[in-house]
Chain A
């Protein structure tokens, strides 16, 4: 065996990575604010919640709802930007998988995607 692909279905992959990215962005911002003197205790005081509740959200033990994301952004004096972008294929990029190998199990189709070729002559 030369390599092992940890392969989960596309829907779970998108959810897990999106939630993880939001959490990392919050952690990064809190770290930045910490250098300016903001403590998690102060953050909890601003949000009128418990520090342990914020900790559980940041560690992934509790869900971060849209409301709590907005609240945290407000307490950190940040804006939240949201964009839903079409995942378009461009030459030179990785090709998103259409099949899942799921380790040693038989190949199964999880997200067939057909991208219409672009024509240059219109």
Chain B
């Protein structure tokens, strides 16, 4: 039996017990059979270094209306981009860093993003993986909550298309979420734009 319970500290936990003959019996009667795995909160993920908050400078009149996080691996990729990494064939007429800054800015400042042109769901499924887009860059991750995205992989658009990396990234992100134990609590399940963005 697997269920969710509210602990004294107000955090969710997955309670796993062995299936007994009387499945309705209070779980407190079988303390030896219990394994409690606390479900991490967003703060836990940040504190453990699993994800890092990503910022850009906002304009004087802007306020951050959304949140953006990235895995250390994704942040390392961003550093490579800032250091001048380039795709073999650039498609966009603005630079890669300009494209990314504009994408992050429009996301964080709460601008209305264009569905399919700037973001889209990779595949319509429960706990979907989402993609943020610029002409030359694709970013894969998931929404831990509405208006709160965790970026896991970044790569050049042409590389992803040439090598058909969508499936691989989708599977890797699902695996990462399982390892972090966030599938049940920190993952938006809907696949419509309104499910993940409120503006």
Residues of A in contact with B (beta carbons under 8 Å apart): 1-8, 12-13, 15-17, 19-21, 24, 27-28, 31, 58-63, 87, 89-90, 93-97, 102-104
Inter-chain contact A3/B60, CB cutoff 8 Å: no
Inter-chain contact A104/B93, CB cutoff 8 Å: no
Inter-chain contact B93/A63, CB cutoff 8 Å: yes
Please give, as numbers and ranges, the residues of chain A lying within 8 Å of B102 by CB-CB distance.
16-17, 19-20
Assembled-state Cα–Cα distance A59/B101 (Å): 16
Q: Nearest CB to that of A28 among chain B residues? A: B112
Please give, as numbers and ranges, the residues of chain B lying within 8 Å of A16 by CB-CB distance.
94-95, 97-99, 101-102
Inter-chain contact A12/B98, CB cutoff 8 Å: yes
Please give, as numbers and ranges, the residues of chain B lying within 8 Å of A6 by CB-CB distance.
54-56, 78, 82, 100-101, 104
In-complex Cβ contact of B117 among A3, A27, A63, A104 (8 A)? A27
A sample of 25 inter-chain contacts (CB < 8 A) reads: A2-B52, A3-B52, A4-B53, A4-B54, A5-B55, A8-B82, A8-B98, A13-B57, A16-B97, A16-B99, A16-B102, A20-B94, A24-B118, A28-B112, A28-B114, A58-B117, A60-B135, A61-B91, A61-B93, A61-B135, A63-B93, A90-B60, A94-B59, A94-B60, A103-B78
Inter-chain contact A17/B93, CB cutoff 8 Å: no
Quick check: is B106 within 8 A (CB to CB) of the other chain? yes
Assembled-state Cα–Cα distance A32/B80 (Å): 38
Residues of B in contact with A (beta carbons under 8 Å apart): 46, 49, 52-63, 70, 72, 75, 78-79, 82, 91-95, 97-106, 111-112, 114, 117-118, 134-135
Please give, as numbers and ranges, the residues of chain B lying within 8 Å of A15 by CB-CB distance.
94, 98
Please give, as numbers and ranges, the residues of chain B lying within 8 Å of A8 by CB-CB distance.
82, 97-98, 101
In-complex Cβ contact of A4 among B52, B95, B111, B135 (8 A)? B52
Inter-chain contact B134/A2, CB cutoff 8 Å: no
Assembled-state Cα–Cα distance A70/B94 (Å): 20
- Whether A2 contacts B56 in the complex (CB less than 8 A), given A12-B95, A60-B92, comes out as no
Inter-chain contact A24/B111, CB cutoff 8 Å: yes
Assembled-state Cα–Cα distance A63/B61 (Å): 28
**Shortest CB distance A96–B (Å):** 6
Inter-chain contact B52/A1, CB cutoff 8 Å: yes
Assembled-state Cα–Cα distance A9/B119 (Å): 25
Inter-chain contact B60/A89, CB cutoff 8 Å: yes
